[in-house]
Structure 1
Amino acid sequence: MSRTRKKRTWLKGVLVLILIGIVGVGAYGYSIYHNLQKTAKGVHTPIDRDPVVERPSKLDMKKKEPFSVLMLGVDEREGDKGRSDTMIVITINPEKQSMEMLSIPRDTRVEIVGKGIDDKINHAYAFGGIEMSMNTVEKYLDIPIDYYVKMNMEGFEEIVDAVGGITVNNDLDFSVSATHFPKGEISLNGEEALKYSRMRKEDPRGDFGRQMRQRQVIQGVIKKGANVSTLWKYDDMLKAVGNNVETNISFDEMKSIQKNYSEARKHVEQLQIEGSGAKIDGIWYYIVPEEERTNIQNRLKEHLEL
């Protein structure tokens, strides 16, 4: 499987957020609403697990309580469960009208909950699927993970093109092959967005720069996908959702998110975990100091009002 195809994986998860965004604006037409409901039911995959970090009380979206989502970009091959090469935790707070997006570097050394070993965090999915991934992230960040969105491969370029392209604010002048990405606000089609989100070697920030561009592209797709002007392409978007996404967010919960949380997407803060690389027993890991981990935990707890 090529590296290009691997890097496409993580973007499928934004389709669920697009779906949430157009639930409300699409309700005016029965056909649109019916197809939204059908797709939402098709991708709905509940998970029965015992949380590592319990909430003080059950999440109540009618009371506009903050919640969290784990986005997993998974490279799955035949006969192989795969690994979550992209892990992004999103917290949504409607009262603060804000979202926070935290990328967890895939090589971060953590305790794999349920396996009893310290390993790279992206191995949790290979060992125990969604449940082990959610439990491991909960333990590492010390916050409840309320929902997951698992994204499979295929269709990245088509997704961006389906919403009519996206706009991002680029902070680094660089080129990939024959495509130049100047500083400032730039418009990207699907092919360009793929190149933009993959670039790492020319960025002095390395993987952090790549993670930032991934989050920018996610924001861009959410923004365009939730826009009324893109509804005429909703068939293409819903088809991609149905083919590539699994989530435990139900249709009713999507409607609650659209009704009570939609303003939060207008203010997005991007977070990153500071650390350094080190070899342990000949294997390269990303090591996060405990003080940094505690700072990130406290930041997310505050946003979730825990």
Structure 2
Amino acid sequence: MKRVKEKKKKRRWLRYTMIILGVLLIGICGYLYSIYHSLTNAVDSMHQPIRETSEKRQETVTLEKKDPFSVLLLGVDQRKNDRGRSDTMIVMTVNPKTESIEMVSIPRDTRTEIVGRGTMDKINHAYAFGGVEMSIDTVEHFLDIPIDYFIQINMEGFQEIVDAVGGITIENDFDFTYEGVHFPKGTITLNGEKALKYSRMRYDDPKGDFGRQLRQRKIIEAVIREGASLKSLTNYGNIFSALGNNVKTNLTFDEMVDIQANYRQAANKIKQQQINGTGTKIDGIYYYQVPEEERQAISNLLKNQLEIAS
């Protein structure tokens, strides 16, 4: 009799345990589905298709085959009723064989031909004249390489992304005050509003536009770091919503998955290149002039990374 009771008790505890595990499993599956659903909705909001293959490509890039590829990052200062200009332009070439990324920042005042208008102007004006496609065409012409993908970040709404990840912590190189906010040298924590101001200051930076680009890269790296942390899992809805509202790209969800699977090791070896030139005024307007030898050297570097003949 005693053994029968013990067996019944064990079966009861086993049943309770299985019920609890089942409820937990259903909850976890629901949570994961909710994350997946929010992510795919965000990707749908972000997706902005453009022309399929660059004219500078003989064959289409296949991410499944681990082909090297390029990305144009555009940080657009876009405000209400104003398309804005691409104040940040960064070209990234990714090679999974060498497991490396070459990152080149193009100064916003760089003087070059604006493709589609046939005029010489500042490279960041291409976005104001013709949006993403004119920016891509102009950068392709300037560097003589194909641009396979683009990622556009609205810097005005970037503060929403920073707030969504709970703020960021960065190392500030020098003490300065901008638009009423003091940024001391050293480790600082920023909310969205302060991060936006920190990224915009330009004229008091001893490195000028290069210094601003460096600060913007720090913010983007900090956002990625915070977004990947475990604490962000509880706030994924706001994060995906902020991304969907402020980021545009021609990358599809499947392509993002392929990049994560086949190229993630390249992120461990990022080399940042600076385009050297000199500032000058033409008809009273400031431009950044890049010597042909420098432009060609950067072009050859990126072609080598993309495994394209120079």
TM-score range for the pair, normalised by the shorter chain length? 0.7 to 0.9
Note closer, same or farther for the CA distance 1:267–1:254 as it changes in structure 2 (3 Å cut).
same
Across the two proteins, how many residue pairs are aligned to each other? Answer: 279
User: 1:106, 1:121 within 8 Å by CA — same for their partners in 2?
Assistant: yes
2:89–2:106 CA contact under 8 A, matched in 1: yes
Q: Is 2:161–2:243's contact at 8 Å kept on the other side of the alignment?
A: no
Which runs of structure 2 are paired with 1:150-299 in the superposition (5 Å)? 150-152=152-154, 154-176=156-178, 177=180, 179-183=182-186, 185-299=187-301
What is the match of residue 137 of structure 2?
Answer: 135
Question: What residue ranges of structure 1 are gaps of 5+ in the alignment?
Answer: 1-25
User: Could you list the per-position Cα deviations for residues 145-202 of structure 1 after superposition, in whole angstroms to 9, with x for gaps in the alignment?
Assistant: 011122335432332232233343443344544524324x554433443343233333
CA contact (8 A) 1:45 1:246 kept: yes
28-37 vs 189-198, which deviates more?
189-198
Greater RCO (Cα-Cα under 8 Å, separation 6 or more): 1
Aligned to 1:92: 94
1:157 is paired with a residue of what secondary structure?
helix
Which residue is 1:14 aligned to? none
Letter of the 2:103 counterpart: M
Report Cα offsets for 1:76-133 as digits up to 9, x if no partner: 4566543222222222233333333322111111011121111111121222221111
Distance of 1:117 and 1:123 partners within structure 2: 11
Question: Relative to structure 2, which stretch is displaced further, 121-130 or 163-172?
Answer: 163-172
Match in the other structure for 1:43: 46
In the alignment, which of 65, 87, 90 is matched to residue 63 of structure 1? 65
TM-score relative to the length of structure 2: 0.80
Counterparts of 2:69 and 2:182, CA distance in 1: 39
Cα distance between partner residues in 2 of 1:77 and 1:204: 27
Structure 2 residue runs of 5 or longer lacking an equivalent are 1-28
| Aligned mates of 1:104, 1:36 — CA distance in 2 | 31
Say whether the 8 Å CA contact 2:105–2:273 is kept in structure 1: yes
Measured on the aligned residues, the alpha-carbon RMSD in Å equals 2.5
**Contact preservation (8 Å) 1:101, 1:215:** no
Determine if contact 2:226/2:232 at 8 Å carries over to the other structure. yes
SS at match of 1:31: helix
Larger radius of gyration: 2
- What percentage of aligned pairs have identical amino acids? 58
CA contact (8 A) 1:46 1:248 kept: yes
State the partner residue of 1:16. none
Which structure 1 residue ranges, 4+ long, deviate > 6 Å from structure 2?
A: none
Note the 1:109-148 alignment, pairs <5 A: 109-148=111-150
